[in-house]
Structures are given as structure tokens and as C-alpha cells.
């Protein structure tokens, strides 16, 4: 069973290689993309099952025992993230068939998506800090290429900001890794979790912790390190922005949770949690205020990503079992809802011919079902019951009340209202108001109508799948909560993790 752990990395890698060997067979690329992500979903469900029944699994690469070799670990948290990554991978693979044009597919669009998934999965699996750096770079280099794949002039500005800030964060990550290694003499996460509490020279511990916080803060787009995100997410192809919006920032959040629960505990670096609390409040507010001012559909949604990251950081800052469980639920809900909104924005763009809300209108009259489909993730994001977002937000806020963080809780509630406001704004502008371009009615929806029926299904299908997920995880919330609670208890007890990886020998 342990050997299965390598599959979430191996499957996309093999798929990408096969695709690269058949560079002109676009139909094969599409098929392989869907098959590989289907296989990934199956693997992650099997892994989740075996972790739930048999505890944390680990694999020592090359047979080198734990602190010396590279370890791959799956606990419940990694399993949840892997499952979400494969769900988004699958829906994106289907959506791409409908939306990505053939020129880009010939430019190795599908293999790049597979490599991106490989980097993301690797980051979720690894139990070694330096290895995490390597997976981050795998993920980054694929995302760099995907960002400018179309080569349009308007894509470069965002790409330069994205590339520069991410390279800067890599350099900071490296420095932090060096400092931590110099202090503890190990980079294995489980080994570090055991050694850090009994370290003699701990002067540099806070320096390393802060450097890690900055690195992952850049990746997760928290205040005040988020500026690359709204600058770059609105220019690439919409399938690319959807998968970025769903997964890339969450990898940063994953790393923050992993580091500041398992490795740097509340006792060893207490100040981190104060910083996280302030950061979370500012992230929520600046994100949503940025969104309120926007009229570009994707820019608006990009700012919302930041605002939602704030809730996750808030959960980490409180760090009670309930809060972490709420944070995990929030991540799961947000990945599905956010990606779905980007998919739908792509469909809206095809129908109306514009990203600008001022130039879109009257969609509800012509496409009422699309409107209903849009309402599901939009209301979930604002936290309207009984959708998934409500429960996630409720859990986080309840944890905040229990921890008596009145200020941050009231900020979170205010931000919810503003989120609802900007979702209503999209609804009013795109769906309800009259079409501002009444003169050239012939232009409207031409791009969309010219698509074949198969492509239309490929566009709408993923949105329906994710909307179903949002509804189902809202209505049958209990199993999700039990899962998240189990994962959070596992995260907060670093002993379980260390024992599973090293066998209890420091």
C-alpha cells in the first residue's frame, strides 16, 4: 500500500512524457489528460481510505531510512488536498477541451497542465523541506509557461510581476532552509518536529520561522505580499486562470499549515500566531475592498481569492482543533467554488464577448440556467446556507469566538457581507441589467454558438460537476466535518506524524 504514495507524482509525469512523445496528436493529448486525472482521483480516494483505516503512510525514497533519505508522507490533510487537486485537474482537463484553442494545444498545453499537477501533488506529499522547495519550482516553472503560453502582449506585464516575486520567494525559501539546517542538522519534517523543541541554540529559530512565513505568504498571496496575484491572474487563458485560482495559492496555504502546526508549534514560536492573526484580518479586508472596485470579471474574482485566503490564515492563527478543521473545510469549499466561478466567467466571456462587466448584460434572459449555475458557487463563496461555504465559515467563526478574537471575527463577518455585495454586483451587471450593446445583436454569443455540441458540454460539464460538489458538501456536511476534524487533530499532534515517519526514534 505504501508504494501507492508515489503514484500522484508518477501518473502526471508519465502522462506528460507520453504526450511529449506524440507532439502532434492533440486528440490523444485530450484523452490522456482526462484519463490521467481520472486515475489520480481514484488513487487519491484509495489513499484517503487507507489513511483513514490504517493511519499515516510514508515511503522512504530509495530505501534510505527517514531522516537521511527523502520521505514522502500522506496524512489525512495531504489526502484531502490530493483529492481536491485531482478533482480540479479532472474538471480542468475536460474544460480545456472546450475552451483552449488548437494552437495552444500544439504548444504543449496539456503536458504543461500535467506537470503543474505533478508539482502540486509532490508538494502535498513530501515530508522533506528541501524536497518541498524542488516541488515548488516544478510547479512554478510550469505555471510560468502556462501564464504566457498565448504570447499576447497584455500577458507579459503580469507574467513579469509573477515571475519576479516568485523567484524572490524561492531565494528567501532557500535561505530559510539553510538556516534551519544549520540549526537542527536535518530537513526531514518529522525529524524537525521532534528536534526543534529540544534545540540548544535557538536564536535563529524565529528568523527561520519568519523567512518561511514570508515565502509561503508570497505563494499564498496574503497581505501585504499579494500584489502579483491580481496583476497576473486575469490575463492567461481562462482554463489556466481557473486551475491557478483553485490550486496554486492553496499550496502556499498548505505549506503554512504544515509548517506552523507540525514543525513550528505554538510553544516554539508563539509570535507567529499573532502575526498571522493581523495578516489574516488585513488580507480579508484588502482583498474584498480590491474586489469591490473592479469591473473586469476575472480581476474581481482574483481579489476574492485573496480575501478568502484571509479566512484560512485566520483559522491557522487561532490554531484550536476546531479552527484548523474549519480552515481545512474552507480550503476544500474554496477550491471548488473559486475554480467554478472562473470556469463560468470563461463561459460568460464566450457568450458576451467581453470580460468587462460594463459591457455585459441581460444574460439571465437568454441563458437562465447559466445564471442558476453561477449562483451556486457565488452564494457559496458569500456563505449562504445550505451551501458548503456557510458551514466552513461558520466553523471558522465559531472557533474565532471560542478563542475570543472579537475584532478578527467581526472583520470576517463584515467581509462576508462585502463578498455577498460583489457577488450580487456580478449578478446584477452580467445577468440582470439590460444588454448595453443592443445595437449589434448579431455579435452576441457568436463565439459560443459556433462551438460544437461536444465542446459546449465540455465547457458546462465541469461547472456542473463542481456546483454539485458545492451543493452536496453543503447538504451532507457531516462526513466532511468528521474528516476535517480528524485531519486537524492529526496535524496538531506532531507526535503522530513524527512517529509514523521515523518510527519514533529521534
Partner 1 sequence: MRVLLPVIIGLLYATGIYLILRRSMVKVIFGLVVLGHAANLMIFTVGRLTKGSPAFVPHGATGIAEPFADPLPQALILTAIVIGFGIQAFTIALFKKTCLSLKTEDLDEMRNTDQLEKESP
Shortest gap between Cβ of 141 and partner 1 (angstroms)? 6
Contacting residues for 268 by C-beta, under 8 A, at least 6 apart: 196, 197, 202, 205
Site string for partner 1, 174-213 (x = CB under 8 A): xx-xxx-xx--x----------------------------
Between CA 306 and CA 327 the distance in angstroms is 15
- State the Cα–Cα distance between residues 371 and 373, nearest whole angstrom: 5
**Piece of the chain touching partner 1 by CB under 8 A; list 15-23, 57-65, 147-155, 383-391:** 147-155
CB of 164 to partner 1, least distance (A): 6
Q: b/e for 311-323, b at 16 or more Cβ within 10 A?
A: bbbbbbbbbebbb
Assign 240 to helix, strand or coil.
helix
Is 83 or 363 the residue whose CB approaches partner 1 more closely?
Answer: 363
Longest alpha-carbon distance in the chain: 75
As a whole number of angstroms, the distance between CA 9 and CA 462 comes to 23
Of 199, 432, 437, 464, the one binding partner 1 (CB under 8 A) is 437
207 vs 496 by CB, closer to partner 1: 207
Among 108, 124, 133, 311, binds partner 1 (CB under 8 A): 133
Min dist CB 497 to partner 1, Å, is 22
Contact 325, 268 (CB under 8 A): no
CB nearer partner 1, residue 49 or residue 164: 164
- Using CB under 8 A, pick the residue from 60, 144, 364, 493 that binds partner 1: 144
Q: What is the DSSP string of 188-203?
A: BHHHHHHHGGG-S--T
Contact status: 436 vs partner 1 (CB under 8 A)? yes
The Cα–Cα gap between 478 and 345 comes to 31
435 binds partner 1 (CB under 8 A): no
> Which residue, 208 or 392, is less far from partner 1 as judged by CB?
208
Q: Nearest 5°: phi and psi at 296?
A: -75, 125
Q: Hey, is 264 helix, strand or coil? A: coil
Q: Nearest-CA neighbor of 219 among 211, 210, 208, 228?
A: 228
HSE, CB side, 13 Å, CA atoms: give it for residue 17.
7
Contacts of 276 (CB under 8 A, 6+ apart): 213, 256, 260, 313, 314, 316, 317
Chain position carrying cell 458551514: 391
Residues 208, 210, 215, 216, CA torsion sign: positive
- Check residue 100 for interaction with partner 1 (CB under 8 A): no
Query: Is the CB of 208 or the CB of 373 nearer to partner 1?
Result: 208
Among 23, 54, 151, 197, binds partner 1 (CB under 8 A): 151
158/252 with CB nearer partner 1:
158
Binding mask 7-46 for partner 1 (x = CB under 8 A): ----------------------------------------
CB nearer to partner 1: give 97 or 248. Answer: 248
- What is the spatial distance between Cα 224 and Cα 214, in angstroms, rounded to a whole number? 10
Question: Judged by CB, which is closer to partner 1: 244, or 355?
Answer: 355
Residue 93 or residue 140: which is nearer to partner 1 going by CB? 140
Please report, as residue ranges, which positions from 61 to 90 form the binding site for partner 1 (by CB under 8 A): none
The pattern of x and - marking residues 331 through 360 that bind partner 1 according to CB under 8 A reads -----------------------xxx-xx-
Nearer to partner 1, 107 or 356 (CB): 356
Of 225, 220, 224, 253, the closest CA to residue 80 belongs to: 253
Residue 156 makes contact with partner 1 by CB under 8 A: yes
- Cβ atoms of 501 and 56 within 8 Å: the answer is yes
Number of residues that bind partner 1 (CB under 8 A): 44
Contact assessment for residue 261 and residue 321, using Cβ atoms and an 8 Å cutoff: no
Question: Of the candidates 2, 49, 164, 428, which one interacts with partner 1 according to CB under 8 A?
Answer: 164
**Residues of this chain that bind partner 1 (CB under 8 A):** 130, 133-134, 137, 140-141, 144-145, 148, 151, 153-160, 163-164, 167-168, 170-172, 174-175, 177-179, 181-182, 185, 231, 234-235, 296, 354-356, 358-359, 436-437
Amino acid at each position: 500500500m505504501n508504494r501507492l504514495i508515489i503514484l500522484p507524482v508518477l501518473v502526471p509525469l508519465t502522462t506528460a512524457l507520453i504526450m511529449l512523445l506524440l507532439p502532434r496528436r492533440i486528440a490523444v493529448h485530450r484523452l490522456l489528460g482526462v484519463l490521467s486525472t481520472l486515475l489520480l482521483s481514484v488513487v487519491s480516494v484509495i489513499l484517503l481510505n487507507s489513511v483513514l483505516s490504517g493511519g499515516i503512510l510514508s515511503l522512504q525514497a530509495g530505501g534510505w531510512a527517514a531522516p537521511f533519505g527523502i520521505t514522502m508522507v500522506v496524512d489525512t490533510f495531504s489526502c484531502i488536498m490530493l483529492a481536491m487537486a485531482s478533482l480540479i485537474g479532472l474538471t480542468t482537463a475536460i474544460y480545456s477541451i472546450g475552451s483552449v484553442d488548437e494552437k495552444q494545444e500544439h504548444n504543449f498545453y496539456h503536458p504543461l497542465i500535467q506537470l503543474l499537477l505533478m508539482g502540486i501533488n509532490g508538494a502535498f506529499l513530501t515530508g522533506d523541506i528541501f524536497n518541498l522547495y524542488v516541488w515548488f519550482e516544478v510547479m512554478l516553472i510550469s505555471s510560468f509557461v502556462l501564464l504566457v503560453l498565448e504570447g499576447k502582449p497584455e500577458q507579459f506585464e503580469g507574467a513579469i510581476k509573477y515571475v519576479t516575486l516568485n523567484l524572490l520567494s524561492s531565494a528567501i525559501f532557500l535561505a530559510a532552509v539553510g538556516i534551519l539546517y544549520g540549526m537542527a542538522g536535518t530537513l526531514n519534517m518529522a525529524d524537525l518536529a521532534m528536534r526543534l523543541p529540544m534545540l540548544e541554540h535557538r536564536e535563529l529559530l524565529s528568523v527561520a520561522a519568519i523567512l518561511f512565513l514570508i515565502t509561503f505568504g508570497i505563494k499564498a498571496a496574503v497581505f501585504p505580499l499579494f500584489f502579483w496575484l491580481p496583476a497576473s491572474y486575469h490575463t492567461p487563458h481562462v482554463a489556466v486562470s481557473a486551475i491557478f485560482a483553485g490550486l496554486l495559492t492553496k499550496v502556499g496555504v498548505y505549506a503554512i499549515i504544515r509548517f506552523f502546526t507540525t514543525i513550528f508549534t505554538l510553544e516554539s514560536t508563539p509570535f507567529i500566531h499573532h502575526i498571522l492573526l493581523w495578516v489574516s484580518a488585513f488580507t480579508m479586508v484588502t482583498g474584498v475592498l480590491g474586489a469591490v472596485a473592479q469591473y473586469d470579471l476575472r480581476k474581481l474574482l482574483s481579489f476574492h481569492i485573496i480575501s478568502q485566503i484571509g479566512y484560512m490564515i485566520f483559522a491557522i492563527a487561532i490554531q484550536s482543533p476546531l479552527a484548523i478543521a474549519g480552515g481545512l473545510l474552507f480550503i476544500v469549499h474554496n477550491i471548488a467554488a473559486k475554480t467554478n466561478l472562473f470556469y463560468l466567467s470563461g463561459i460568460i466571456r464566450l457568450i458576451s464577448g467581453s470580460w468587462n462587466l460594463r459591457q455585459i448584460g441581460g444574460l439571465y434572459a437568454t441563458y437562465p440556467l447559466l445564471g442558476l449555475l453561477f449562483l451556486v458557487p457565488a452564494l457559496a463563496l458569500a456563505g449562504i446556507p445550505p451551501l458548503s461555504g456557510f458551514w466552513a465559515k461558520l466553523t471558522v467563526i465559531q472557533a474565532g469566538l471560542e478563542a475570543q478574537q472579537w475584532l478578527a471575527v467581526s472583520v470576517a463577518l463584515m467581509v462576508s457581507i462585502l463578498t455577498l455585495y460583489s457577488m450580487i454586483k456580478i449578478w446584477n451587471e452580467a445577468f440582470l441589467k439590460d444588454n448595453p450593446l443592443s445595437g449589434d445583436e448579431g455579435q452576441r454569443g457568436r463565439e459560443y454558438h459556433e462551438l460544437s455540441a461536444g465542446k459546449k458540454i465540455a465547457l458546462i460539464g465541469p461547472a456542473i460537476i463542481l456546483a454539485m460538489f458545492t451543493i452536496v458538501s453543503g447538504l451532507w456536511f457531516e462526513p466532511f466535518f468528521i474528516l476535517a476534524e480528524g485531519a486537524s487533530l492529526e496535524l496538531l499532534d506532531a507526535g503522530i506524524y513524527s512517529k509514523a515517519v521515523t518510527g519514533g526514534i529521534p
